[in-house]
Amino acid sequence: MQKKLLSLLVTAALASTAAHAVVTDAMIENDANSTGDVLSWGIGQEGQRYSPLKQINASTIGKLVPVWSFSFGGEKQRGQESQPVIHNGKMFVTASYSRIFALDAKTGAKLWKYEHRLPDGIMPCCDVINRGAALYDNLVIFATLDAQLVALNQDSGEVVWKEKIDDYAAGYSASAAPLIANGLLLTGVSGGEFGVVGRVEARNPKTGQLVWVRPVVEGHMGKKYDKDGKESDNGVSGTPGKTWPGDLWKTGGAATWLGGTFNKKTGLAYFGTGNPAPWNSHLRKGDNLFSTSTVAIDVKTGQIVWHYQNTPNDGWDYDGVNEFITYEDGGNVLGGKADRNGFFYVNDAKTGKLVNAFPFVKKITWATGIDLKTGRPNFDPANRPGDPTGSADGKKGNVVFSAPSFLGGKNQMPMAYSPDTKLFYVPANEWGMEIWNEPVTYKKGAAYLGSGFTIKTLSDGPIGALRAIDPKTGKIVWEAPNNAPLWGGVLTTGGNLVFWGTPEGYLQAADAKTGKIVWKFQTGSGVVAPPVTWQDKGEQYIAVASGWGGAVPLWGGDVAKKVSFLEQGGSVWVFKLMK
C-alpha cells in the first residue's frame, strides 16, 4: 500500500516537473508577473524590466552579497551585453563570440555550453557581442554573428534546429535576443552599415520554419509561407519610390538590430529601425521610410499597422532601434522610447500618434524640437553635414559638430519603466561628434557610409547619467551622473530600487524615487548588460553579466581614449541577501 502511494507520488512529482519544464505561450505572456522565472528579454514582452519583487529594498540591501560568479572562460572576453534568462532552476546566458552557457541558477555550476563555429569573414559593426536568448517549449534559441538562429535543447544543449537568416558576407549579422509573441519567434537583422535590407521575420519557434517576412525598407515585398514552406507574396511595404530616390531603397539599411517588444492588448510587435544607408543623406533626398522609426507590426498578418519616424532623412546615423516600451496610462496603452537622436518620444501604442516628445539629453544640435502637431522634427539645416558634391574638390562636404554623437543619447542599453513610480529610468550619455560626408557607392560586403566622423567629449565632466524621466511632463526627476558613458541596461523593482551597471565595473542600486545610491559592488570588469531578478524558494536573486566592450572602445574616438584603462572580462554574477 505504502509502496503504491509512493509510486503515485513520484509519478505526480514527475508529471509536475515535466509540465513545469516546458515554456508555454501563456507563461511568456505572464512573464512580467511571474517572479520565479525570467523568460524573456525585457522581463516580459512589453520590455518594462520591472519586477514586483521587494525582499531586496532600501532597508535590506546592505545585506546583498554575491552568491556565485561564473567565468565565460577562454581568451574570448570582449563585450558582454547579454541579459540572462532563468527557468526551471537553470540560467541561460549568452556570451561574446556567439556562445551560450546553461548554469545551475542556485550554484553557478556549469550544465553545458555551446560555442557556435563562426567563419572568418563575419562583419559585426560593434564588437562580437550577443544580447540574450529566448525560451520556448524545451528550447533555448539565440542568434549568431554569422546571421544564423540556433535552437538548443534546454536540458542537454543539443542543437534541435539551426536556420540561416542571411548572408554574412553581405554584411548581415545578428545579436539581438529573439522575441516570442503569439506563438511565433520574431527576429531582426544587423548590418545597417553595409546596406543590408532591414526586416522582421516570424518563425515557428519549434522548427525554425518561416511564417512571414516583413521588410522595413519601403518598396520591398513581404512574404508569407504555408505549412510546407511554400512562399507567396504578402504585400509591399509602403509605396515604392515615394520616399527614396532611384534604386537606393534596394540597399536601404534600416536594420532591426535590437529586436522588438510586444503588447498583448494591441497585438502589435514594435521594432525600431536603424539608419538609412548610406549615411550621406544628400544621396537619398526624402524621408527614407521606414528607417530610423518605430514600426508596429500585426503579428498575425505580418503587416505594418503604423510607423512613426523619429529622424526623417537621417544624416547622423541616429539609428531608431531603441526599445519601445508599452505601459498603461489611464485607459490608454502608450509606448515610450528614448531615441539615439536625444529625444524621448511617447506614442499611442495602438495608432502610433505622437503624444509627447522632449529632450532627455542636454545638448541636441540637429533639431530644435519635435512638433507635437505634425510629429516631425524642426531641423536646424545649418547643422546637417554638408553635401560633398557642393565642396571645392567634390570629396568632402562641410564638417559639422553634432550632438548627440552617433553613439547616441542612448544606445543599445535598455531602459526600464516602473508602474509604481510611473517613471522611465534611462541610461543616457552626453557627447558629440565631428561628422562630414563623402561620395560612396554600394559594394556588397563593404562599409556603405559615405561619411567620416570623430566622437568628441562635450566637457571634462561625466559623460553618462542614469535619468529618471516623467513621460507626462518631460521632466528629469533625478539623475545619477557617471564618468564613463553608460552602456548597460536597467532593472527596477517593487522594492523601490533601480539597478544598473557602469563601465567602471560597478553594479549599483539607487532609490527609485530619489536617485540616492544605496548599494554598489565591483564586478571586476565593465558592466554593459542589463540586470535581472527572480526568486527561488522565498529568496530574491539579482544577476548581471560583466565584461567591458561594445561600440565605445571601437568607435568612441576621443572618448575611447578616455576609457582605455578599463579592462575586458567575461563573467556573470549572482547576488542575494545574506542570512
3-class DSSP state for residue 142?
A: strand
| The residue count for the chain | 579
Amino acid at position 393, single letter: D
Rounded CA-CA distance 60/526 in Å is 26
User: What does 219-278 look like in DSSP terms, one character per residue?
Assistant: TPEEEEE-TT--EEEEEESS-TTSSS-TTGGGG-B---TT-EEEETTTTEEEEEB--BSS
- CB nearer to Ca ion: give 317 or 430: 317
Grid-cell match 522594492, residue found: 495
Least CB distance from residue 107 to Ca ion, whole Å?
21
Least CB distance from residue 123 to Ca ion, whole Å?
13
- CB nearer to Ca ion: give 194 or 244: 194
Least CB distance from residue 259 to Ca ion, whole Å?
15
* Known active-site residue 25: no
Question: Contact at 8 Å (CB) between 192 and 274?
Answer: yes
Q: Is the dihedral of CA 69, 74, 75, 80 positive or negative?
A: negative
Least CB distance from residue 192 to Ca ion, whole Å?
4
- CB nearer to Ca ion: give 77 or 292: 292
- CB nearer to Ca ion: give 192 or 219: 192
Rounded CA-CA distance 399/258 in Å is 30
Q: Is the dihedral of CA 272, 274, 276, 279 positive or negative?
A: positive
Question: Among residues 31, 137, 317, 319, which one is catalytic?
Answer: 317
User: What does 302-371 look like in DSSP terms, one character per residue?
Assistant: TEEEEEEESSTT-SS---B----EEEEETTEEEEEEE-TTSEEEEEETTT--EEEEEESSS---SEEEE-
Question: Contact at 8 Å (CB) between 317 and 450?
Answer: no
Question: Contact at 8 Å (CB) between 280 and 311?
Answer: no
- CB nearer to Ca ion: give 46 or 317: 317
Question: Contact at 8 Å (CB) between 83 and 40?
Answer: no
Least CB distance from residue 64 to Ca ion, whole Å?
20
Least CB distance from residue 369 to Ca ion, whole Å?
24
Least CB distance from residue 232 to Ca ion, whole Å?
32
Rounded CA-CA distance 419/512 in Å is 11
Least CB distance from residue 37 to Ca ion, whole Å?
4
Angle at 353 between CA 350 and CA 359, to 5 degrees: 120
Residues 6+ apart with CB under 8 A from 429: 361, 404, 407, 408, 409, 410, 411, 463, 464, 465, 485, 486
Query: Phi first, then psi: what are they for 192, rounded to 5°?
Result: -60, -20
- CB nearer to Ca ion: give 275 or 482: 275
Least CB distance from residue 365 to Ca ion, whole Å?
18
Q: Which residue is nearest to Ca ion (CB)?
A: 34
- CB nearer to Ca ion: give 253 or 570: 253
Least CB distance from residue 321 to Ca ion, whole Å?
8
Alpha helix locations (H) across 22-131?
25-29
- CB nearer to Ca ion: give 163 or 339: 339
Residue 457 Ramachandran class (φ > 0 left, ψ -120 to 50 alpha, else beta): beta
Residues 6+ apart with CB under 8 A from 332: 348
- CB nearer to Ca ion: give 272 or 570: 272
Rounded CA-CA distance 81/238 in Å is 34
Binding site for Ca ion (CB under 5 A): 31, 34, 37, 192, 274-275, 317, 319
- CB nearer to Ca ion: give 198 or 397: 198
Element (H, E) at 418: strand 416-418
Residues 6+ apart with CB under 8 A from 441: none
- The set of catalytic residues is 317
